[in-house]
Amino acid sequence: MNDSTCPRNEEAVGWALHSLEPDAEIAVAMHLPQCDSCRTVAGEAGEVLAYLGAAVEQLDPPPSLRDRLMAAVADTPQQPAGQPEAPQTTAAPEPAAAPRREAERGSTRPPDTRPGRSSRWTRRGRRLVAGALALVAVLTIGVLGVRNAQLAAERDAQVAQAQRLENLLDEFDRPGVQHALLAREDGSTIAAVVVSDGQPQVFPIGIPANSVDRETYVLWGIAEGANPAPLGTFDVTGNDQGQLAVGWVPDDARYAAYAISLEPGRTAPAVPTAVVASGPVAA
């Protein structure tokens, strides 16, 4: 497809941002090699994401900032909760102050009669506000730095995922290769199986990591009219960068589908305990 635009451009953007479901990612990855428009859109979206990730400079707050903040807190007068401040004594007004009281009566703004209101309380408020602002600045700088690191990690994960999908598509195109996409009951694809020269390989796409000390995944071959046959075991650690070689397929086997189960222990049982994904062999 060489049109200037494609109805799947929006999905291509989602693929570049790693925001699609696994089955949708596979569908878009299969579409990209034959669509110049979507490849261009996906590349531009990736460049924008990389630019945003690098746009925020990572800054570390100076060590003196915390010291100044703690000093401001220590300098703030403390008062037990629930106790009003001691009333301040003032000198008795002199007779000459009467004209000023008359002026206050004529003022449109009532005098501030709240207890404990003093210049010292105002200074305390200023210190607390300054300390709060300093704390917010520290937290904001920290959040920006963490977000920048997250964006970089997400970008690296997207590149690795794209490379894995590209390798998977290359395997699909090889002559004499049998493959199947394995999905959960809800239809979301989480793995692919490729069999070449009797060697099955599992491509983890969205399989959760298993506890390698107490459980394992098992690949099953399913033939019509026969019980599932265990082909081999494998683990998903979360750091897998490509396919996992799993057991062997007998020369006389004619499997119509494959399945993956999660089993307790470290060996394959006679029958699957909990099937997590399955799918038919592609024609």
What is the reported pTM? 0.48
pLDDT digits (tens, 9 = 90+) for 110-140: 554 444 444 444 555 555 555 555 665 656 6
Q: pLDDT at position 99, please?
A: 45
pLDDT digits (tens, 9 = 90+) for 34-85: 788 888 888 888 777 666 666 555 566 667 766 776 777 677 666 554 555 5
| Cα gap 282→167, rounded to integer Å | 18
Q: Match 């920290």 to its residue by tokens.
A: 142
Domains of the chain by range and CATH? 1-76+119-173 (no CATH), 178-280 (2.60.40)
Task: Answer yes or no: are the C-beta atoms of 253 and 223 closer than 8 Å.
Answer: yes
pLDDT digits (tens, 9 = 90+) for 219-259: 999 999 999 999 999 999 876 557 899 999 998 888 999 99
What 233-238 contacts at long range (C-beta under 8 Å, 24+ apart), as own/partner pairs, is 233/263, 233/266, 233/267, 233/268, 234/202, 235/210, 236/204, 236/207, 236/208, 236/209, 236/210, 237/209, 237/212, 238/209
Task: Answer yes or no: are the C-beta atoms of 271 and 230 closer than 8 Å.
Answer: no
Task: Answer yes or no: are the C-beta atoms of 208 and 235 closer than 8 Å.
Answer: no
Name every residue whose Cβ is closer than 8 Å to that of residue 89 and which is 6 or more positions away in sequence: none
Q: Match 């290359």 to its residue by tokens.
A: 170
